[in-house]
Amino acid sequence: KQKQKIVILGAGYGGMILAARLQKSTVYRDAQITLVNKHNYHYQTTWLHEPAAGTMHPEKTRMKIDSVIDFNKISFVKDTVLEVKPEERKVVLENAELDYDILVVGLGSEPETFGIPGVHEHAFAIRSVNSVRVIREHIEYNFANYNKQDEKDDSLLTFIVAGAGFTGIEFIGELSERIPELCEEYDIPREKVKLYSVEAAPTALPGFDEELVEYAMNVLESRGVEFKINTPIEEVTAQGVRLKGGEEIHSNTVVWTTGVRGNSVIEKSGFESMRGRIKVEKDLRAPGHEDVFVIGDCALIINEEINRPYPPTAQIAIQQAYTAANNIKALIEGKKDLEAFKPDIKGTVASLGGKEAIGVVGSRKVYGNSASVVKKMIDNRYLFLLGGMPLVLKKGKLKFF
């Protein structure tokens, strides 16, 4: 009998944990498993604000996929997914086509622009190792250029972070830590540099406890961040941003962090979706497609307590990978009963740069240095789940204090 073909798209949090689980179980012997990813490395998306600001080297956030996944057990294809053809059980890649019996879509997300003009053309996004390499170099280039010019251009030293949600706050926190170092290195007085956090909603960090939001804003303001809350951006231009009401801020660097939508492959493939995310069944399969699982940022699940979607997180992607691994194993063994996915939210901690962070762990609020230690433990825990202690020692955040 021919072995069934399992194809996993994307080696992010979901895809990597799933592949690691399958190679530990008997599934890799009973089925032919293929992992497809754009690059031959995996990166931790949740760390990317650090290399973007230049407080961590980009190398630290990535690892070769074969340092964790055994390519004798799981075949690896380095290619870009263009489209899934669910009716034909085929995946179209840039350079090849793959057939599948069971497909897992774990392609992550893309920036949400809400149709605001100029975002694609003029703003940066924190979304991959390559995108943050560019942000890091661009920031330094602006500093280097400032003093080179006779007529000083202040927009080189004005940085706008669009969106004061989780990612925007984490990034501006890192950047506010990095600025004094850059000022020192490039002989620029600190007060010349402007950092703006612009948010359309009535509060920074929507969804977070008020006290934590206030703490975060105080920390960031003390490092020179200026908040513009309740202030939608109407357009991004080559000169900066135009805010609702007409005010313009001139800036050579706009970083767009206003949330995400599912990977565009989802819409291109004709799956029914909301903002590019497939509202999955309890067992994580796409409605009407018994052979397609969806995990991570491409999957939409509803928090029934408040009847709203869960925000897409690595935490959920990892937990979904465990459920998907169990369900795929059950299908390969010919079982019909699949496990229902239940998220177990352990908490959320946002770093503010340096030794500062805020968050909730269980039902407890955490602040400051202790929150920052918890954050590093969360980052290390993921590495532990993926590759055990050796990976933590090699790639982990080991300096806690």
Residue closer to ligand FAD by CB (options 54, 312) is 312
Structure tokens that stand for 260 in this block: 């995400």
* 170 counts as catalytic: yes
Give the residue nearest to ligand FAD (CB): 12
- Are 245 and 234 spatial neighbours (Cβ–Cβ below 8 Å)? no
Residue closer to ligand FAD by CB (options 80, 230) is 80
Which of 170, 177, 281, 356 is catalytic? The answer is: 170
Residue 152 CB, nearest approach to ligand FAD (Å)? 31
- Are 324 and 6 spatial neighbours (Cβ–Cβ below 8 Å)? no
Structure tokens that stand for 234 in this block: 């109407």
Residue closer to ligand FAD by CB (options 170, 177) is 170
Residue 141 CB, nearest approach to ligand FAD (Å)? 22
Structure tokens that stand for 297 in this block: 């940022």
- Are 341 and 320 spatial neighbours (Cβ–Cβ below 8 Å)? yes
For residues 390 and 386, what is the distance between their CA atoms, to the nearest angstrom?
Answer: 10
Residue 242 CB, nearest approach to ligand FAD (Å)? 25
Nearest one of 36, 192, 48 to 111, comparing CA atoms: 48
Q: Are strands 41-43 and 62-64 parallel, antiparallel or unpaired?
A: antiparallel
Residue closer to ligand FAD by CB (options 233, 374) is 374
Nearest one of 141, 124, 160, 132 to 55, comparing CA atoms: 132
Residue 259 CB, nearest approach to ligand FAD (Å)? 10
For residues 256 and 351, what is the distance between their CA atoms, to the nearest angstrom?
Answer: 18
Nearest one of 365, 278, 350, 245 to 84, comparing CA atoms: 278
Residue 15 CB, nearest approach to ligand FAD (Å)? 6
Residue closer to ligand FAD by CB (options 188, 294) is 294
Cα dihedral 46, 47, 50, 52 sign: negative
For residues 3 and 102, what is the distance between their CA atoms, to the nearest angstrom?
Answer: 11
Q: Given the rule CB under 6 A, which residues bind ligand FAD?
A: 10-15, 36-39, 42, 45-46, 48-49, 80-81, 106-108, 126, 167, 170, 263, 265, 296-297, 312-315, 317
Residue 317 CB, nearest approach to ligand FAD (Å)? 4
Residue closer to ligand FAD by CB (options 116, 371) is 371
**Catalytic site positions:** 170
